[in-house]
């Protein structure tokens, strides 16, 4: 199976895990990675810059209607919901928070599932609320592959456990396993 995109969700506490994953991706990593991570509404800068220090792949906060391109990592901007649209573009929204969150992981995951269907990998990391669980369910229903960070390794395991409670998750992985999985996935896509 060739996957066309990877979508990752996590709460604010997942920064270290995200940083570890992104910094391990090689510069030629070409599968688009779309990240929705809970963050402070009023701090608009700093997050991308912090992740970019170690990442060898360019990290971007998309603007509204930007195209989704290969070889880029996209991070949902502060205080906007991030959706994927048919035609492989992003749309942003200032609609009501979902699960008390804007950006909401469920929105990003669900819209990516609608666009990429079985060609999508969804990954849910450590987190303290249930945001992302419905999105993972949608990815699974659409035929995509679902992965959660091993709850035993999570600082707070509410988020992956909530997804596991409502969906038959395909893989439960530790961070190192997620890294290996992503690198192998991209190698196959490049064949």
Partner 1 sequence: MSEIGISDLRTITSLVKENFKMDLGIYVNSYLIRRFRTLTEGKYGTTAGLIAALKQKSISGKEITNLFKLSCTDIFRDPSFWRILKKLLEETAERTRLRIWVADDYSGQELIALLISLKESGLLSKAEVLATARDENILDHIKTGKIPLKSMEQSCSNYRKWKESESADLYQYFKCDESHAVIVPELFSEVKFSVADISGGDIPSGTFDLILFRNVMLNYHLTYQCDLIPVLHRKLRFSGLLATGAKENISRSEIASKFSLINSEEKIYKKIKE
**β-sheet bridge partners, residue 92:** 82
Counts of helices then strands in the chain (DSSP H, E): 6, 9
Torsional sign, CA 78, 143, 175, 187: negative
Q: Specify the DSSP element, H or E, that contains 34.
A: strand 33-37
Shortest Å distance, C-beta 83 to partner 1: 4
Shortest Å distance, C-beta 159 to partner 1: 21
Q: Which is nearer to partner 1, 23 or 91 (CB)?
A: 91
Q: Which is nearer to partner 1, 44 or 161 (CB)?
A: 44
Interacting residues with partner 1 (CB under 8 A): 41-42, 44, 61-66, 77, 79-80, 83-86, 89, 91-97, 107, 111, 114
Contact indicator for 88, 73 with CB cutoff of 8 Å: no
Q: Which is nearer to partner 1, 96 or 152 (CB)?
A: 96
CA dihedral of residues 173, 174, 175, 180 (deg, nearest 10): -60
Shortest Å distance, C-beta 93 to partner 1: 6
Q: Which is nearer to partner 1, 7 or 24 (CB)?
A: 7
Positions marked active-site: 11, 38, 131
Q: Give the whole-angstrom CA distance, residue 12 versus residue 143.
A: 28
Shortest Å distance, C-beta 145 to partner 1: 20
Q: Give the whole-angstrom CA distance, residue 53 versus residue 51.
A: 6
């Amino acid at each position: 199976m060739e996957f066309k995109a990877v979508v990752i969700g996590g709460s604010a506490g997942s920064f270290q895990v995200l940083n570890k994953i992104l910094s391990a991706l090689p510069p030629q990593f070409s599968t688009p990675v779309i990240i929705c991570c809970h963050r402070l509404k009023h701090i608009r800068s700093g997050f991308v810059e912090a992740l970019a220090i170690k990442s060898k792949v360019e990290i971007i906060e998309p603007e509204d209607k930007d195209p989704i391109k290969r070889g880029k990592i996209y991070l949902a901007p502060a205080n906007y919901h991030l959706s994927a649209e048919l035609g492989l573009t992003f749309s942003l929204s200032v609609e009501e928070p979902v699960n008390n969150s804007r950006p909401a992981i469920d929105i990003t995951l669900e819209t990516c599932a609608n666009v990429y269907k079985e060609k999508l990998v969804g990954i849910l990391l450590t987190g303290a609320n249930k945001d992302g669980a419905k999105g993972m369910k949608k990815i699974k229903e659409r035929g995509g592959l679902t992965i959660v960070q091993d709850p035993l390794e999570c600082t707070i395991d509410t988020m992956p456990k909530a997804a596991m409670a409502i969906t038959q998750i395909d893989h439960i992985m530790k961070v190192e396993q997620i890294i290996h999985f992503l690198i192998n996935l991209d190698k196959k896509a490049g064949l």
